[in-house]
């Protein structure tokens, strides 16, 4: 299933393969699927999910701790102020947020 997401490329100095970070709520279908199998395919797309480039195989994993906090900081910076405004609306819902790290293979 095609699911457009906000993402950020980590500044992995010297890393041959970059890490992408996305966030979602813990109860989404994509989060449940990644918990069971981290094999994913990624491609650039527009805001409606229309693919604009080639598909790439990748591995996704849910991260915690400092890596999750770092990924969320990068997302906050890239999508300022839109992500912060969405965060205000999220205060009225009690849904756990998670950060997913994705690395092309």
- How do residues 12-52 score in pLDDT, each as one tens digit? 767 788 999 999 989 999 999 999 999 999 999 988 889 99
- How do residues 59-68 score in pLDDT, each as one tens digit? 999 999 999 9
Strand order in the sheet with 7-9: 7-9, 20-25, 97-104, 56-63, 39-42
pLDDT band at 93 (very low <50, low <70, confident <90, very high): low
Domains in the chain, start-ordered, CATH in brackets?
7-104 (2.30.110)
- Number of Cβ within 10 Å of residue 9's Cβ equals 11
Distance CA 49, CA 36 (A): 24
DSSP three-state, residue 49: coil
Judged against a pLDDT cut of 70, whether residue 91 lies above it is answered with no
Distance CA 37, CA 35 (A): 6
Distance CA 57, CA 43 (A): 9
Helix (H) or strand (E) holding 74: helix 65-78
Distance CA 49, CA 28 (A): 17
């Amino acid at each position: 299933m095609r699911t457009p997401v906000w993402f950020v490329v980590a500044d992995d100095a010297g890393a041959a393969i970059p890490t992408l970070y996305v966030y979602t709520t813990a109860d989404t279908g994509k989060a449940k699927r990644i918990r069971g199998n981290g094999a994913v395919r990624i491609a650039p797309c527009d805001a409606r999910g229309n693919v604009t480039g080639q598909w790439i195989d990748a591995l996704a994993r849910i991260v915690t701790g400092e890596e999750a906090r770092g990924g969320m900081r990068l997302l906050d910076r890239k999508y300022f102020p839109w992500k912060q405004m969405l965060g205000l609306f999220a205060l009225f819902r009690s849904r756990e947020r998670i950060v997913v790290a994705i690395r092309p293979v």
